[in-house]
Amino acid sequence: MSLPAPTPLRIAIAGASGRMGRMLVEAVLAAPDAVLAGALDVPDSPALGQDAGAALGAITGVRVTSDLRAGLANAQVLIDFTRPEGTLAHLAACRELGVRMVIGTTGFSEAQKARIADAATQIAIMMAPNMSVGVNAVLELLARAARMLNHGFDIEVIEAHHRHKVDAPSGTALKMGEVLADALGRRLDECAVYAREGVTGPRDPSTIGFSTIRGGDIIGDHTVLFAGDGERIEITHKSTSRVTYAQGSLHAARYIVQQASGLHDMSDVLGLRA
């Protein structure tokens, strides 16, 4: 006797008509173990009322809506790559309805992060500034490199993104800085340098510098430079497609639906937690 087919994971997408939202919708439609259960967008979106797959030439039967309750009614997990204010509104609805979240939004303040952590006492949340498996592998490499190069090397984080990105440095760059600072026994908020202009004096060797580039359609490039006397080491990740973020988000959704509560990150999803 054949076993019944497993019930597909019911996923809702926030910002469904945006660049990342469309990529996420496409990824869910292509996944054999998932189904699109909801599609959210802002009240003034021209996509409201349209089928969520219209831009892809697909019929999903799911209409884009700004009604959070309607959009989340059948969902187990919401994947959210929007703006901090929008994500926090979605957070409140998910907390009330018991819907788990995968958050890829960046640019949160410390107070906003605290609200997410508080909600995670009731629902399971996976939050990461970058869902790419490759980026998270780089984070592991950076921690090891920082411990090995903790004397005689200056550290700089250089990131580049498209002209439409509104926060800087990127969430991924900041996460890299946090990993580096932690490996060196420092606090990023005490050693980060985000801008240099004019006569700045000699470089403080205990600092971690950040440089930001915005232009064109760059999806996301990140380089950490370890600059010593007579040698330089660079660890670089370049994104050529948002598909890696979408696939990582699906991987995270499969993980988080199995959790009752708590704030998780990609180290948990990928089994990298020591």
Contacts by 119-123, CB closer than 8 A, 24 or more apart: 119/91, 119/92, 119/94, 119/95, 120/261, 120/262, 120/263, 121/261, 122/95, 122/261, 123/94, 123/95, 123/98, 123/99, 123/261
Per the residue annotation, which of 161, 175, 237, 264 is the catalytic one? 161
Which entry of 113, 162, 164, 165 is annotated as an active-site residue?
A: 165
Find the helix packing angle between 110-119 and 84-97, rounded to 10°. 20
Strands 192-193 and 208-214 turn out to be parallel
Note if 175 is an active site residue: no
Asked if 165 is an active-site residue, the reply is yes
User: Residue 93, SS3?
Assistant: helix
**Cα–Cα distance measured from residue 262 to residue 180, given in angstroms and rounded to the nearest whole number:** 25
DSSP states of 193-213 = E----S---SPPTT-EEEEEE
Residues carrying an active site annotation: 161, 165
